[in-house]
Amino acid sequence: MVAMTIFKNRTLRPFAAVALGLAAMVLAAAPKDAPATSGPGIDLPGMDRSVAPGDDFYRYANGTWMKTTEIPADRPAFGPDAVLAELTTTRTADLIKEAAASSAPAGSEARKVGDYYAAYMDEAGIEARGLAPLQPTLDRIAAIADRKSLSRYLGGTLRADVDAINATDMYTDNVFGVWVAQDMNDPSRYLPFLMQGGLDMPDRAYYLDDSARMETIRGKVKEHIGLRYLPLKIPDPQGKAARIYDLERKIAEAHASREDSGDVKKSNNHWARAEFETKAPGLDWDEFFTAAGLGAARDFGIWQPSAVTGISALAAREPVETWRDYLTFHALDHFASVLPEAFGQERFAFHGTVLAGTPERRDRWKRAVDAAGFALGEAVGRLYVEKYFPPQAKARVEEMVKNLMAAFGRRIDALDWMSPATRARAKAKLAVLKVGVGYPDAWLDYSGLRVERADAFANADRAERFEYERNLRKLGRPVDRSEWVMTPQTVNAVNLPVMNALNFPAAILQPPYFDPTRPAAMDYGAIGAVIGHEVSHSFDDSGALFDETGRFQNWWTDEDRAHFEAASERLAKQYDAYKPFPDLAVNGKLTLGENIADVAGLAASYDAYRLSLGGKPAPAVAGFTPDQQFFISFAQSWRQKVREPALRQQILGDGHAPNEYRGDTVRNLDPWYAAFDAKPGQALYLAPGDRVRVW
Ligand SMILES: [Zn+2]
């Protein structure tokens, strides 16, 4: 909602989620109903057959589509995931509006969904109330007089708005975020993890990198901060903006880098409650944790210790007046979407246009649909699944999952370098993997969330608190491995490494990723590779660190690890060589986990496809052999156009390589060379010894 970013890691892709809370859905020609495949099942006119597949497979499969497709004005990027997101939003919107118009009984989920949407749409009411709904918060900030009251306020705004390795959302605009997850040293219990936050811009690099582009953005963020104060008629907004920015820069200096935050070895730190005063002096931790509802917690995970120490010291060192200004700015920014229009416009002008290059703000009704879907995600998901995800689709995908798991098991058996001990642990891990298809086994209970039809601000505030309290209630309870971290209406997929579970939401199980009416080769090339990608995350550079119980424990022998790391190193080099811009290359190390997942996922899905045939031949389509269909379908599932600022933002901070290079994963698979006759001298050609096979 108010603070979503495109910084996703272990998920399938970065832009499919609602990027910055403002990724877009204006696709005038978007189909209202499922785009049933009538025809070949792959996009033949979208290919460019004048390009040799061995030189540029991505353009061979997508060249004409790339030339003829425009990114809609309100999106940072565009591709099939955006088309599906649009279709799903349209459908979800219809369900939500239906709920708003119906007279569902008070207290029912349908009523809550409808009321949430209606309140968000009540623009006149929101304008009329002005800043009144935020006034109690502004008063609390104005009353901060010392370190103690500052600590109390900061604790009281703590929310469950981050996730280190499941949904992987590293960003919160509060100084810290809480992630309640399995203790990686003792996976039988939950632990509250503290994660760094407090920046208006997406990452510390925006404050500290000395490139010209970052200099320009820094100039604009100060304007953005100052403008926030104008409606409050507070004197010297520019002076305040400069001081607030300066505090944020100091917070950024304390932050761990995005790369370090993705490194579990550096991040799995445990602090006992009693250690905070000595390890991170500054904040009044008693006040902080009591206000946060965590007064009884004895142990914490500390994902970025430097940030906890640094921010706590700043709480004591920086003038209280600067903190008050900083918190006022953040409160206005945080709730901008449910305050009068001027605040939302200003937030979009900076976060949407300056940071992501998106020219137009999305229509209010689309934002309202997102907001309701975010606050009441599984309630909306339940309505969605009942209407759009038939049991036959679930059964068919589960059959593919079965073949993928079998293929993965065979690949593990066939690894000549792996020791029997490591092999046994890998097979044990594969055996416990809990694969969720479409929707969770049990739905979340929203009976404790109050929603009022006439109060968008209070609804948003209560929804955040509800989610926070729901997470705190997990502490001390048995771990529930069936819980999902994505809603069924999300066009994405995710691996939950500590839970040893995978989520494949219903909304990604649609064409062009999945279509039971087309030849199976195409489904295995698209959704099959996605499933393989997520399975392999359990065995990639981070997944290899968690055993079959979710414990953070090296389950490899040293020799096995050495081989794995050597292969990883070669893959990192392969991606380091991709340069989308003369001054910016893909970061092979940052994207390594995702790239391993792409290679392993595609290879496993190819095997699973062969397995599914049971020795029977498959038909050619439009002159393409089954193997060619498989690889073209794969490259087409990754087609995407991205605006330059958004692409640069992704390369700097996201764990996923740009889609074009993900499509080029094919060059690591021997069958691709046979299928397209790729030869030495062609740009994508790798000698057999240079093709990376990790699994
Ligand atoms: Zn992934």
**DSSP letters spanning 467-536:** HHHHHHTTTTSPP-TT--SS-TT-S--EEETTTTEEEEEGGGSSTTT--TTS-HHHHIIIIIHHHHHHHH
Residue 7 — pLDDT band, cuts 50, 70, 90? Answer: very low
Query: Do residues 15 and 640 lie in contact, with contact meaning Cβ atoms separated by under 8 Å?
Result: yes
Query: Do residues 247 and 259 lie in contact, with contact meaning Cβ atoms separated by under 8 Å?
Result: no
Structure tokens at 685: 């050609």
Separation of CA 285 and ligand 1 centre (Å):
36
Helix (H, G, I), strand (E, B) or coil at 300: strand
Residue 422 — pLDDT band, cuts 50, 70, 90? Answer: confident
Residue 39 — pLDDT band, cuts 50, 70, 90? Answer: low
Separation of CA 529 and ligand 1 centre (Å):
11
Picking from 490, 196, 224, the residue whose alpha carbon sits closest to that of residue 354 is 224
Separation of CA 681 and ligand 1 centre (Å):
31
> Quick one: DSSP state of residue 105?
P
Helix (H, G, I), strand (E, B) or coil at 557: coil
Neighbour-count burial of 449, counting CB atoms closer than 10 A to its CB (0-12 exposed, 13-18 middle, 19+ buried): buried
Separation of CA 505 and ligand 1 centre (Å):
14
| pLDDT > 70? residue 18 | no
Picking from 494, 523, 525, 529, the residue whose alpha carbon sits closest to that of residue 510 is 523
Note the pLDDT of residue 12: 54
Separation of CA 602 and ligand 1 centre (Å):
12
Q: Give the span between the Cα atoms of 173 and 330, in whole angstroms.
A: 7
Note the pLDDT of residue 670: 97
Q: What is the pTM of this model?
A: 0.80
Sequence-separated (6 or more) residues with CB below 8 Å from residue 539: 426, 429, 600, 695
Separation of CA 695 and ligand 1 centre (Å):
15
Separation of CA 39 and ligand 1 centre (Å):
31
With b for 16 or more beta-carbon neighbours within 10 A and e for fewer, the 593-614 pattern comes to bbbbbbbbbbbbbbbbbbbbee
Residue 288 — pLDDT band, cuts 50, 70, 90? Answer: very high
Query: Do residues 586 and 579 lie in contact, with contact meaning Cβ atoms separated by under 8 Å?
Result: yes
Picking from 441, 480, 554, 467, the residue whose alpha carbon sits closest to that of residue 189 is 480
Query: Do residues 177 and 160 lie in contact, with contact meaning Cβ atoms separated by under 8 Å?
Result: yes
> Quick one: DSSP state of residue 192?
E
Mean pLDDT of 604-614: 96
Note the pLDDT of residue 34: 34
Query: Do residues 486 and 505 lie in contact, with contact meaning Cβ atoms separated by under 8 Å?
Result: yes
Note the pLDDT of residue 22: 23
> Amino acid identity, residue 313?
A
| pLDDT > 50? residue 35 | no
Separation of CA 164 and ligand 1 centre (Å):
14
Separation of CA 351 and ligand 1 centre (Å):
25
| 177 vs 168 pLDDT, higher one | 177
Residue 119 — pLDDT band, cuts 50, 70, 90? Answer: very high
pLDDT tens sequence across 318-346: 999 999 999 999 999 999 999 999 999 99
Measured in residues, the chain has a length of 695
Instruction: Name the residue with tokens 């582009």.
Output: 213
Q: Give the span between the Cα atoms of 492 and 371, in whole angstroms.
A: 18
Which ranges of 143-196 does DSSP label H, i.e. alpha helix? Answer: 147-156
Strands 77-78 and 494-496: unpaired
Note the pLDDT of residue 55: 97
φ, ψ of residue 442 in degrees (nearest 5): -125, 140
Note the pLDDT of residue 542: 67
Separation of CA 674 and ligand 1 centre (Å):
27
Separation of CA 168 and ligand 1 centre (Å):
10
pLDDT tens sequence across 181-191: 999 999 999 99
Note the pLDDT of residue 494: 87
pLDDT tens sequence across 656-684: 999 999 999 999 999 999 999 999 999 99
Separation of CA 501 and ligand 1 centre (Å):
13
Note the pLDDT of residue 230: 77
Instruction: Name the residue with tokens 């926070």.
Output: 468
Residue 105 — pLDDT band, cuts 50, 70, 90? Answer: very high
Separation of CA 533 and ligand 1 centre (Å):
6
